Structure 1
Amino acid sequence: MTGEIGAAADIATGTLVGRAFEPKAGEARHVHPGHDLEGALCLNCGTRLLGEHCHACGQSAHVHRSLGGIGHEIAHGVFHFEGKIWRTLPLLILHPGMLTRRYVNGERARFVSPLALFLFTVFLMFATIGAVGGEMTTDFIRNERTGKISDYARESAKARIALNQVEAQRAHATLSAESRAALDRQADALRTTVRALGVAADMQNGGANGGLVDLGDFKTGWERLDHGIAKANGNPGLMFYKLQTSAYKYSWGLIPLSVPFMALLFLWRRQYHLYDHAIFVTYSLAFMMLLTIVLIVAGVIGVADGWIVMAALLVPPIHMFAQLRGTYALRKRSAAWRTVALLTFAFTVLLAFVILLLLHGLTD
């Protein structure tokens, strides 16, 4: 029940945040009956009104001063989403290149802007994960509660941290030979303790580390990162929770990471600019998140795994191919090789994004 409430809150938040980035141009306006606007002044800037909205600052001539008015604004943001969503989604799914090209060419009032749609789909995707699949850390938290993350693992994490501290002390060049030898003995003892506790934890959990994540006992030389690795090995549930939160918070970073790769595909076509590529990338990411939502729901309602895997493998390249052809007016062969390159770039960007999230989570 808590997950469903949280999911509903995420969806509403995503819609309202998306609306904050979405211009109101193109919405139908209705004059309230019984209101005479002739000769009235704008309550915001004092300009004489020529219609139901001020031509100087854009404020509506009719302002709400009631709790019902607040409810109306929320309902309008959640359920209408400018009324443009039903013109945008069919084109995004069936004719993504046409949608991208028309938006770039200036048809802004008819469609939901790519950034607003992207923000909404991000909230919707994580809300769907929370509602139908639970948080990604549920299994890890359950393991902790049932004892599968044992005291051995916790003591092992403490020993790793102590080992990091000893090795940091040993790195000082001013130490005497006796002090250095003592620290070496202490480090060896801690390494033995870590290995023994790891074996004991595996035996208690039935081997194979009990399904836990083990990032290894390697040292990078970066004290903060080594400390984070030790903590992650001791508490993988917390690590996954932080990764999920970071992915939720920094998902917008996929856009600036992707745009340079798109620009590489059209270096010799000067009629296309970074803005065009940014619109392409943002709409494409929004579609991929919608596809993820559909696949998650399909798995929940019992669609065969084979169909889900086939859709996950085939739909993205087909959509990229169609969007490339429509956006950049490419021939089939030109769009085909760019689709292959774009898939490679997309994997590279996703991998870089995950690595950055890991570094952020482990060093935070």
Structure 2
Amino acid sequence: MEHDIEAAGAASVSGLTSGSHHPVQSGLPCTNCGEVVPDRFCSTCGQLASDFHRPVWDLISGSLGDMFALDGRLLRSLPLLLFRPGRLTRNYLDGQRARYVPPFRMFLLASVIFFLTIFSLGDRMGWFGGLRFDQPSESGLEVGLTLPADRAARDALNQALADPGLDDATRAQLADSQVVIGSGIQMSEILLPDGKIDRVALRTLIEERADPDTTPAEIEVAYRTIDHAATVFENQDRFGARLRQWAPRFSLLFLPVFSLLLALLYAWHRQVYMYDHLITGLHFQTFLYVLGTALLIVVAAIPSTTGWAIGLGFALVLAYLYRLVRVTYGSGRLLSGLRAVLLLILSMILLAMLAIGLVVLSFFLT
């Protein structure tokens, strides 16, 4: 993944510059269209006649010097993006594109800086270690297969508990019995001393608790499902590494998810297209990466500010999102506030589900 980040960083930084700090190959055929390049740029397709197959830090240092010296697009784009939410997006959608950094290039550069920061600081501060589930409760792992006798006893208990005249002591006793009957497979029955799951015992318990009419294929499906869950449980110490591996990927997947949420909230606006939502999503995520990078640096320097940083981050994100949708889409104050809150809540839920789902899926695929 680190090589992917370096390649993305090189591509994003090179796209921000005018090319004066990059060596060119004038007089040779253009690698894009084949026409001879007379000077620095191809007169046919406009591509810079430079070879970017160099160490990534050479590319970054040269590109940054070029960017700040000659190409002021980043200096015009970044302050507008950070301190005037929605204005850069609205200007870009209105056709004022030449003077600003293209949204995807700025998004890509900000994401590279963010992930390089969180990975380097995370390794040093130990943020990716110790990501484990809590100790399993006494109810253990529920396989969803119950003996007929257990089912009949559970129905009888439910009927008894429905009696309004039942005293508190009896009700508590019946409730405890209900928990025991519906407990499923206990962790103590399948957990080995080394923390692994006894697969033989697991299969045996599933077969014993299956209904008489359960087919072997259904038992096999149940076993495979619980076996995957056991694999995840056994490899909790690898969650940090998997989260680090997949984080840049599900951050990219979050872009279309956020854009689709915007599309749903503005579905009745006929003059607003999916392109508008994608540009808005790119600028919003770029802001998140810049803000996240700044907060990570502060937390790493002063660990006692973690709680304040999280609270401040949520407040800034909500305020930014409110101004973003208000300025970009011209919504009223009330509707912008409601949409901002809804977008933030749904985005957090979907991002958490996406992250957990991809990490868990990665265990199933190995």
2:12 to 18, 24, 43: 18
- Secondary structure of the 2:98 match is coil
The aligned counterpart of 2:82 is: 93
The aligned counterpart of 2:260 is: 260
Instruction: Tell me if the contact between 2:30 and 2:37 (Cα under 8 Å) persists in the aligned partners.
Output: no
In structure 2, C-alpha distance between the alignment counterparts of 1:65 and 1:252, rounded to whole Å: 24
Correspondences of 1:112-191 after superposition (within 5 Å): 112-134=101-123, 136-139=127-130, 155-159=194-198, 161-166=199-204
1:84–1:361 distance in 2 versus 1, CA, 3 Å: same
Correspondences of 1:72-91 after superposition (within 5 Å): 73-77=59-63, 80=66, 83-91=72-80
In structure 2, C-alpha distance between the alignment counterparts of 1:67 and 1:300, rounded to whole Å: 32
1:23–1:172 distance in 2 versus 1, CA, 3 Å: farther
- Secondary structure of the 1:245 match is helix
The aligned counterpart of 1:244 is: 244
Instruction: Tell me if the contact between 2:87 and 2:328 (Cα under 8 Å) persists in the aligned partners.
Output: yes
In structure 1, C-alpha distance between the alignment counterparts of 2:89 and 2:60, rounded to whole Å: 29
In structure 1, C-alpha distance between the alignment counterparts of 2:46 and 2:296, rounded to whole Å: 42
In structure 2, C-alpha distance between the alignment counterparts of 1:58 and 1:132, rounded to whole Å: 40
CA shift at 1:259, angstroms?
1.6
Correspondences of 1:189-338 after superposition (within 5 Å): 223-302=223-302, 304-338=305-339
The aligned counterpart of 1:55 is: 43
CA shift at 1:72, angstroms?
5.8
* Unmatched segments (≥5 aa) in structure 2: 133-190
The aligned counterpart of 1:194 is: none
Instruction: Tell me if the contact between 1:97 and 1:325 (Cα under 8 Å) persists in the aligned partners.
Output: yes
TM normalised by structure 1 equals: 0.66
1:96–1:220 distance in 2 versus 1, CA, 3 Å: farther
TM normalised by structure 2 equals: 0.66
The aligned counterpart of 1:209 is: none
Instruction: Tell me if the contact between 1:154 and 1:234 (Cα under 8 Å) persists in the aligned partners.
Output: no
In structure 2, C-alpha distance between the alignment counterparts of 1:220 and 1:244, rounded to whole Å: 33
- Secondary structure of the 1:131 match is helix
Structure 1, residues 127-185: CA drift from partner, whole Å, max 9, x if none? 222222325433469xxxxxxxxxx86634241x3344446777799999xxx9xxxxx
Structure 1, residues 3-35: CA drift from partner, whole Å, max 9, x if none? xxx99x887554214247x476xx376999xx9
1:344–1:235 distance in 2 versus 1, CA, 3 Å: closer
Q: Partner letter of residue 240 of structure 1?
A: G
The aligned counterpart of 2:142 is: none
In structure 2, C-alpha distance between the alignment counterparts of 1:88 and 1:65, rounded to whole Å: 25
The higher relative CO (CA closer than 8 Å, separation ≥ 6) is in 1
2:98 to 90, 106, 109: 109
Structure 1, residues 316-340: CA drift from partner, whole Å, max 9, x if none? 1100011111111222223122212
The aligned counterpart of 2:346 is: 345
* Unmatched segments (≥5 aa) in structure 1: 1-5, 142-151, 181-218
Instruction: Tell me if the contact between 1:258 and 1:349 (Cα under 8 Å) persists in the aligned partners.
Output: no
In structure 1, C-alpha distance between the alignment counterparts of 2:273 and 2:266, rounded to whole Å: 9
What do you get for the CA RMSD once the two structures are aligned? 4.1
1:18–1:41 distance in 2 versus 1, CA, 3 Å: closer
1:115–1:174 distance in 2 versus 1, CA, 3 Å: same
In structure 1, C-alpha distance between the alignment counterparts of 2:22 and 2:248, rounded to whole Å: 40
The aligned counterpart of 1:213 is: none
- Secondary structure of the 1:343 match is helix
Instruction: Tell me if the contact between 1:299 and 1:305 (Cα under 8 Å) persists in the aligned partners.
Output: yes
Q: Partner letter of residue 53 of structure 1?
A: F
- Secondary structure of the 2:331 match is coil
In structure 1, C-alpha distance between the alignment counterparts of 2:314 and 2:320, rounded to whole Å: 11
Q: Partner letter of residue 363 of structure 1?
A: F
The answer to which of 10-19 and 339-348 deviates more is: 10-19
CA shift at 1:359, angstroms?
3.6
CA shift at 1:103, angstroms?
1.8
In structure 1, C-alpha distance between the alignment counterparts of 2:53 and 2:252, rounded to whole Å: 35
CA shift at 1:79, angstroms?
5.2
In structure 2, C-alpha distance between the alignment counterparts of 1:236 and 1:72, rounded to whole Å: 39
- Secondary structure of the 2:42 match is coil
- Secondary structure of the 1:346 match is helix
Q: Partner letter of residue 236 of structure 1?
A: Q
1:43–1:129 distance in 2 versus 1, CA, 3 Å: closer
